Structure 1
Amino acid sequence: MSDLTCFYEAQLVLWQDVKQRFNDLQHIRIRSLGKLKAQFNPSRMISTGAKIDRFIIEKRPCFLCAVNRPKEQIVKSFNSHFDILINPFPILPKHFTIPSIRHEPQQIKNSFIEMLLFVEEYAEEIVFYNGPFCGASAPDHLHFQAVPKMILPVYENWKALAKTSEEVIFREDAKVLYVNDYVCPLIAITGLNINSIVFLFNKIYKELPLPEGNVEPMMNVISWKEKDLFVTLIFPRLKHRPDCYYGKYTEQCLVSPGAIDMGGLIILPRREDFETITPLQATSILKEVTLTSEDVEKVLSQLKK
């Protein structure tokens, strides 16, 4: 048993409400949507429906700061700059949140390396990042999340996706790929050397469009390590939420995509949405909130210069 699993088990002994939520995941319903999946998860209603405008964020206590955490919550330190916590409202088994020990904005550029260091230490996990207005319910506090790698569709299908991807930049120990056979435009970095991967990530970061008023380009990021190879997926975002989120009556589908959704597991807190969503609708939602393929190709063409 890994030390991360030991930490997880120790936390559940101390926090019975959260233990019950993790136990409930064993009975959660999942539907196949072609290349995607849907999960019915009522406990995620708080996160899916979260209002994250500046006024509300400034008024509420930050739930990731140590001083505001529940007394039952225990901590495992990571790399001296981050805490590992059990996520009290899990999407998947062994769902962790990894907040910075400091209250600092959700920005990935200077902390992306921490994601790679995490999966280097905990190779059984996928680590992911939700940017502000891209699924993060705490955009005022830097954090990542981690879940077991085997459940995410984009991970399950990665070997096939990699085979059909276009090589954009090639270095001796890392490369950038345009993944053109996924349901939405996707940029990947694969490599053996962490510093080379960070270098390529920063080049992509620099070329992604920066919306007016935003602190960084809109994106979701997923990373894992398979044997010696690091894989990072960058989902360049266009919108926070799809139009159907704001629809009326039967036209509404309450989905607010984060990295897990972009990775192929659509989280739906309402039963009616889970039972009626179609593969076409799920694909359309992910495409709607992602940069168009034309815009992604423009970003990649800049990388080649």
Structure 2
Amino acid sequence: MTTDIDAFLNSELSAWPMADENFKRIRDSFTDGNRTVISDGDSAWQTAKLFVNHRRASITAKTDAASIAARRCFLCPANRPEFQSSQRWRDYEILINPYPLASTHLTIPSINHCQQSIEGRIPDMAALAVELEGMCVFYNGPRCGASAPDHLHFQAVSREAVANFFNDALPKEEINNPSTHTTNSGRVKLYSCTASPFPFFIIEAQDTVKLETMIMKIVSALKAIQSESEEEPMMNIAMRYDSTSRLITTFVIPRAKHRPECYGQENGQMLVSPATIEMLGTIVCSRRDDFDRLNLSEANRILREVGLNKDEFRKVIGKL
């Protein structure tokens, strides 16, 4: 599928001037100083900041029920830009994201207009990761960065945007759990990351069924510490596949908040709205002033604020 995606991307950009310009801008960002690593060179967890002014609409998107009801869904075919075409994949469509965060950035919405929810969709997400080997396939929860929480969708980006996600040297600790074991049908192991500013889960699985079971165990545990709310727990999920080991590596990142206290456009505030890309270590800034002011201390404070704290994380582990 990767070759097909490359051809599809080139075809879309040749016919869509606005998207072509945005992709040129993001590719330049990785070489012209608009992406800067701000963490210590010895740090296992890389924190970077990225200036992309075409992401302003996404960062400032209003996702409350009234705002969603008042606008047309931009992921439904009837409301898409005239230059945007699609490729069918199972019960989804593959679209080029016209406001990219990487040299390849896809949005993969369901063909049906239905709420953003991960339940029952893990096998599809895993299959996408296999099909798009070498890319990061991710899911923004409806209250964790999805600008279209009313329409189920995944996204996928090339690896330069998510360096931590492809860093196999990240320190991690195995979590002892009855579901963490090796079987004839493939192993599944559960870890916590020990290098990031906030705690999250890493799952290594060769079996999609066991992967889905593990992720849904985490979802249930998160619900339990949130008084078993009927809403989907706040989280971001990212997956990648390696055909040599046949492993699907999944990050499940529990969240405490959608946006940090500093979010806003007034003096002293910053337009930083963490979604999966930010939680994987690349802080996206749509204003030059925010990009220039953001330092490592502030970046870590933002990530800690919107991530789950260590005490709550330990409670989740206790519920698994």
For 1:36 and 1:259, the matched residues in 2 are separated by 13
| Identity between Structure 1 and Structure 2 (%) | 35
Aligned match of 2:51 in 13, 37, 40?
40
For 1:145 and 1:82, the matched residues in 2 are separated by 12
Determine if contact 1:244/1:253 at 8 Å carries over to the other structure: yes
SS of corresponding position for 1:52:
coil
TM-score (ref. length: structure 2): 0.90
The aligned counterpart of 1:143 is 153
Determine if contact 1:22/1:90 at 8 Å carries over to the other structure: yes
Determine if contact 1:109/1:205 at 8 Å carries over to the other structure: no
Determine if contact 2:50/2:285 at 8 Å carries over to the other structure: yes
The more displaced of 24-33 and 61-70 is: 24-33
Confirm or deny that 1:113 pairs with 2:123: yes
Q: How does 1:52-201 map to 2 (within 5 A)?
A: 52-79=63-90, 81-157=91-167, 159-161=168-170, 163-169=171-177, 170-172=180-182, 173-201=187-215
Offset from partner CA, 1:65-121 (integer Å, 9 cap, x none): 011112211111112x11000001111111000000000001011112211100111
The aligned counterpart of 1:219 is 235
Determine if contact 1:165/1:181 at 8 Å carries over to the other structure: no
In structure 2, the gaps of 5 or more residues are 40-45
Offset from partner CA, 1:156-181 (integer Å, 9 cap, x none): 43x222x4323333221101111122
Aligned-CA RMSD value: 1.6
- Residues paired across the two proteins, number: 299
Offset from partner CA, 1:233-266 (integer Å, 9 cap, x none): 011011010000047412x011000000000110
TM-score (ref. length: structure 1): 0.94
SS of corresponding position for 1:114:
helix
1:211/1:66 Cα in 2 relative to 1: closer, same or farther (>3 Å)?
farther
In structure 1, the gaps of 5 or more residues are none
Aligned match of 1:233 in 230, 244, 251?
251
Determine if contact 2:172/2:191 at 8 Å carries over to the other structure: no
- Cα deviation, residue 212, structure 1: 8.4
1:151/1:246 Cα in 2 relative to 1: closer, same or farther (>3 Å)?
closer
Determine if contact 2:236/2:252 at 8 Å carries over to the other structure: yes
Determine if contact 1:87/1:97 at 8 Å carries over to the other structure: yes
SS of corresponding position for 2:195:
coil
Offset from partner CA, 1:9-46 (integer Å, 9 cap, x none): 11112212111110111222111120200000110110
SS of corresponding position for 2:231:
coil
After TM superposition, which residue ranges in structure 1, 4 or more long, deviate above 3 angstroms? 209-214
